[in-house]
Amino acid sequence: MVSLGYVLLTLAVTAFEAKRIRGRGPDVISVFIVLFLLQCCLPGIVIYACLPLVDQSSPTEFPPIDRIYAAADVSTAALVLGLTASFIFFFHAFAALNARLLGRFGSRAARALRLVVTGSPLRLPIVLTFGLALSLASFYSLGSSLSERYINLILFRAGSQEGEEKLLNALGLALTQTWAWLSIPALFVIYERRGRRLLWWLCLAALVVFMVLGVSRKALFTPIVLMYLTLVLFDHRWRVKWLLAGAIPLLVWIAFGKELIGVIAFHRTFSEVTGRYDTVAASLLRAASEIGFTIVESLGTISLLDYLSPRFGVDHLLSVLRVIPTAHHWLGDLPPRIVRLSTEAFETSYDQDIAPGLFGQMWLDFRIFGPVVWGLMLSVQMSFVQHLFARTIRTRQAAALFALVTFVVAMPLTVGTYDFTFSYDIYALALGILLTFKLRGVRLPAISSPTARAAAA
The whole model's pTM is what?
0.89
pLDDT over 90 (residue 218): no
What's residue 243's pLDDT?
Answer: 83
Confidence band (pLDDT; 50, 70, 90) for 106? low
- Average pLDDT in the 349-361 region? 80
Confidence band (pLDDT; 50, 70, 90) for 140? confident
* Dist. CA 185–CA 182, nearest whole Å: 6
What's residue 306's pLDDT?
Answer: 76
* Ramachandran bin of 72, using left for φ above 0, alpha for ψ from -120 to 50, beta for the remaining angles: beta
Query: Per residue in 289-310, pLDDT tens?
Result: 989 999 999 999 999 887 788 8
- Average pLDDT in the 364-369 region? 94
- Average pLDDT in the 348-354 region? 65
Confidence band (pLDDT; 50, 70, 90) for 275? low
Confidence band (pLDDT; 50, 70, 90) for 284? confident
**Burial tier of 422 (Cβ tally within 10 Å: 0-12, 13-18, 19+):** middle
What's residue 163's pLDDT?
Answer: 47
Tell me the β-bridge partners of 392.
115
What's residue 144's pLDDT?
Answer: 84
Instruction: Identify the residue with better confidence: 88 or 72.
Output: 88
* Dist. CA 332–CA 340, nearest whole Å: 19
What's residue 363's pLDDT?
Answer: 95
Query: Per residue in 38-76, pLDDT tens?
Result: 999 999 999 999 999 998 888 888 888 888 999 889 999
> Poorest-confidence range of 381-390, 425-434, 437-446?
437-446
Instruction: Identify the residue with better confidence: 315 or 229.
Output: 229
* Dist. CA 143–CA 150, nearest whole Å: 9
- Average pLDDT in the 363-382 region? 96
* Dist. CA 372–CA 97, nearest whole Å: 14
Q: For the beta carbon of residue 139, count every other beta carbon within 10 angstroms.
A: 21
What's residue 390's pLDDT?
Answer: 93
* Dist. CA 303–CA 299, nearest whole Å: 6
401 within 8 A of 346, measured Cβ to Cβ: no
- Average pLDDT in the 273-302 region? 85
- Average pLDDT in the 225-240 region? 93
Instruction: Identify the residue with better confidence: 197 or 328.
Output: 197
Residue 169 identity: N
C-alpha distances out from residue 427 to 14, 411, 431, Å: 33, 14, 6
Instruction: Identify the residue with better confidence: 125 or 171.
Output: 125
- Average pLDDT in the 175-195 region? 93
Averaged pLDDT of the chain? 86
What's residue 145's pLDDT?
Answer: 87
User: Averaging pLDDT over each range in 107-111, 137-141, 262-266, 387-391, which range is the top one?
Assistant: 387-391
What's residue 318's pLDDT?
Answer: 83
Instruction: Identify the residue with better confidence: 251 or 428.
Output: 428
Instruction: Identify the residue with better confidence: 219 or 434.
Output: 434
Confidence band (pLDDT; 50, 70, 90) for 348? low
What's residue 174's pLDDT?
Answer: 81
What's residue 151's pLDDT?
Answer: 82
**Burial tier of 9 (Cβ tally within 10 Å: 0-12, 13-18, 19+):** buried
DSSP state of 356: -
Query: Per residue in 436-447, pLDDT tens?
Result: 999 998 876 644
pLDDT over 80 (residue 110): no
What's residue 165's pLDDT?
Answer: 47
Closest to 87 (Cα-Cα) out of 379, 435, 404, 415: 379
- Average pLDDT in the 322-336 region? 68
What's residue 430's pLDDT?
Answer: 95
C-alpha distances out from residue 126 to 183, 186, 194, 311, 435, Å: 11, 11, 19, 44, 11
What's residue 432's pLDDT?
Answer: 96
Closest to 374 (Cα-Cα) out of 83, 20, 53: 83
